Chain A
């Protein structure tokens, strides 16, 4: 077949109204960020704030990916992840600090425990048909108590990881550390490379699709999309460059987010998650192994929780009894705010990331303006309320 020229019929029309609606959350995020930058007299724009944002919210992005997969299957959630983080932290502390196990082996052991819990949980939910909220409620109630009991071995009910620099450096701190206030070249270079990759990908994609005769967006759209993304990436990395370097967790967060982005949008198993949530009977009758999907959702959640546990312990350089507090609510909020449907079948990793970032910005902003703890609670409540109302409304419209 001859190579068809990019004629008018190939090009999808852009429409401002629908564009705004589709990217509503992103726009809100930008506006809220600008709002807080003004309110904090620019403090939100300092390199430290960017680093804080990432370090403080890393766990939300990681657990959020897991929660997204669970919610996709039909609005299912995991109430146990926070408590499990506490338990894993305690166990990690025992292993590394008290029993002197090596770092690598401890990490593997912790992941293995996550896998075991995940398989058990997945089996109970998918094959014994125990409703997820009951199955995970058990963990929610039991794990923290268990973790605290283990931590009781120390008089302060917490195990310090100060001596385990090797472990800490894997999950926290900064890569290629340089003093604050000086430009960290590796960080900036990574940013430039990433931005370049994005631009390259978008345009290569476009060229390939044109060659095959498929539809493409107007060139202005593509330029705008990758231009803005590239600019954002460079901006963030530039700021981080002055904060002392690439936060180590960013590597983890980036890897997890990119991985799940790929899985949800481009793989058959990702597709299966969406249809199971969309109509589980139709999925089953189309040959999808729906029980396996549910199993994988919860196994996956447990593994991601393990990773998040390790980043949490590293961040506080200690295993505490109240580690992981509220993690499940934060992940759920990030998902709901990010447009993940509470009844399943819809939602994206990008949406969750935007939701998590928005909440993170609000939290950091409130902290930086020294907002009274009570007002912070008010804001938290309103954000949740707004997200639920939004979910209800979008359900009504779909009718």
Chain B
């Protein structure tokens, strides 16, 4: 299931990007020009970090599932059924 793997990459990329956004939000906390209140900032940093990590985990799970599916397909054909 190549497609499932690809979906997992996409989700992973988005998850990573969310973490990047969270980082940017965090890095800007000293900026005097911003109108964002510290409370709000931390809220979104937290939210995006959690969402980003969650997406990364989901993507990894998807990837593993897809991997499992692939391995099943490549299994050698079963021996003709002979109940010993």
Contacts and interface: CB of A to CB of B under 8 A. Distances in A.
Question: Direct A–B touching in the complex (beta carbon < 8 Å)?
Answer: yes
Interface of A: 74-77, 79, 131-133, 277, 280, 329, 332, 336, 342-345, 372-375, 377-378, 380-381, 384-385, 388, 391, 395
Q: Is the interface of B mostly helix, strand, loop or mixed?
A: helix
19 contacts: A75-B3, A75-B10, A79-B13, A132-B6, A277-B3, A280-B2, A336-B14, A342-B10, A343-B4, A343-B7, A372-B36, A374-B25, A375-B35, A377-B24, A377-B25, A378-B25, A381-B48, A384-B14, A384-B17
Contact of B28 (A79, A342, A373): A373
State which size class the interface on B falls in.
20 to 34
A388 B24 contact: no
A375 B36 contact: yes
Contacts of A384: 14, 17-18
A375 B36 CA distance: 7
Interface of B: 2-7, 9-11, 13-14, 17-18, 21-22, 24-25, 28, 31, 34-36, 41, 44, 48, 51, 55
Given A343-B4, A372-B35, A381 B21 contact: yes
Contacts of A345: 3
A-B CB proximity, top 8 nearest: A75-B6, A343-B3, A343-B7, A342-B10, A372-B35, A342-B7, A374-B36, A381-B21
B82 to A, nearest CB: 30
Contacts of B9: 75, 77, 133
With most chain B CB atoms within 10 A of its CB, the pick from A373, A378, A385, A391 is: A378
With most chain B CB atoms within 10 A of its CB, the pick from A75, A332, A344 is: A75
